[in-house]
Structure 1
Amino acid sequence: MATPKLQMDRRAETPTVAPLSPSVRRHLGRSLQALYAETLSAPVGARLEALLARLDPRKS
């Protein structure tokens, strides 16, 4: 696999990697959604729920 060409960001004077193609971005997005779907659907623990309630008392 070829190494991506580096471009210089003139504002920061640091090298940046060329942007990813749309197809690669779609593939990564779908893969991450599948990876985190179970985590996002899991119930929130009681301790975290209590902390969230303290941050927004309107929802309790």
Structure 2
Amino acid sequence: MAKPQMSRPGETPQAQPPLNPSVRRHLGQNLRNLYADTLSAPVSERLEALIAQLDRPKG
């Protein structure tokens, strides 16, 4: 198995081949399962307050 090419500072990294579609589906499904509970959990009041601050115009 070939080692991935490491780029040096200032060099453009080597392009990696795209993932196989079946691997992408597998990863996507597992990530959705992993984060399903997190996405359905209620947002804390502290986090809501921080989000509200982001929505306010600066000035």
Q: Percent identity?
A: 55
Per-residue Cα deviation, 1:1-53 (whole angstroms, up to 9, x for no partner): x55887xxxxx742122110111000000000000000111110111112223
Structure-2 residue corresponding to 1:9 = none
Higher RCO, 1 vs 2 (CA within 8 Å, ≥6 residues apart): 1
Q: Structure 2: any 5+ residue segments left out of the alignment?
A: 6-10
Query: Which runs of structure 1 show a deviation greater than 3 angstroms over 4 or more consecutive aligned residues?
Result: 2-6, 54-57
Q: Structure 1: any 5+ residue segments left out of the alignment?
A: 7-11
- Farther off after superposition, 13-22 or 31-40: 13-22
Residue 53 and residue 13 in structure 1: after superposition, are their counterparts in 2 closer, same or farther (change >3 A)? closer
Structure-1 residue corresponding to 2:38 = 39
Provide the alpha-carbon RMSD of the alignment. 2.5
Provide the TM-score with structure 1 as the length reference.
0.63
